[in-house]
Amino acid sequence: MESIKDYLSSNNIRPSYPRLKIFEYLDSKRNHPTVDEIYTALHREIPTLSKTTVYNTLKLFVSEGIARVITIEDGEARYDSDMSVHGHFKCTSCGDIYDFSVDIPDKRVKGLENFEVEGREFYYFGKCSNCLQLNKNK
């Protein structure tokens, strides 16, 4: 918890207890949770926690560059504390989201030579290996 406190402080974020717990959850679970999922997971431990606090904390994390919003489907904002370049795969069967490595040279994409690219996202959809295996065994 002390390293999370230092990390938040070094990123200009006052490390309140709810902020510490929200970042700890986001960083340790790696399940790309929604606001509702984080709230549900932490509400018992922090009874005074509100969904508004979770939302505002995540918004602060995003604005300070220590988390990102992942919008794989319309109306489903998820959060990720892994700021490295990587992609996301969403299983259309179970709904789980998996990270995968992306090895693309940091060069301009053809057709964007006169543009300033500020970010890039890689999303794939399909069935995960677990769901494929379950379907095979039926």
Same domain, 73 and 101: no
Residue 94 labeled ligand binder: yes
With vertex at residue 59, the alpha carbon angle to CA 100 and CA 13, rounded to the nearest 5 degrees, is 100
* pTM for this model (two decimals): 0.82
Range(s) of the domain holding residue 76: 2-80
In a domain? residue 91: yes
In a domain? residue 15: yes
In angstroms, rounded to a whole number, what is the distance separating the alpha carbons of residues 26 and 57?
11
In a domain? residue 112: no
Residue 110 labeled ligand binder: no
pLDDT tens digits along 30-40: 889 999 999 99
pLDDT tens digits along 57-115: 999 999 999 999 998 877 789 999 999 888 899 999 998 899 998 876 655 567 888 88
In a domain? residue 57: yes
Same domain, 11 and 63: yes
Q: Considering only CA atoms, which of 78, 75, 67 is closest in space to residue 32?
A: 78
Residue 85 labeled ligand binder: no
Same domain, 28 and 48: yes
Q: How far is CA 78 from CA 67, 83, 110, in A?
A: 10, 14, 30
Residue 91 labeled ligand binder: yes
- So what's the pLDDT on residue 23? 97
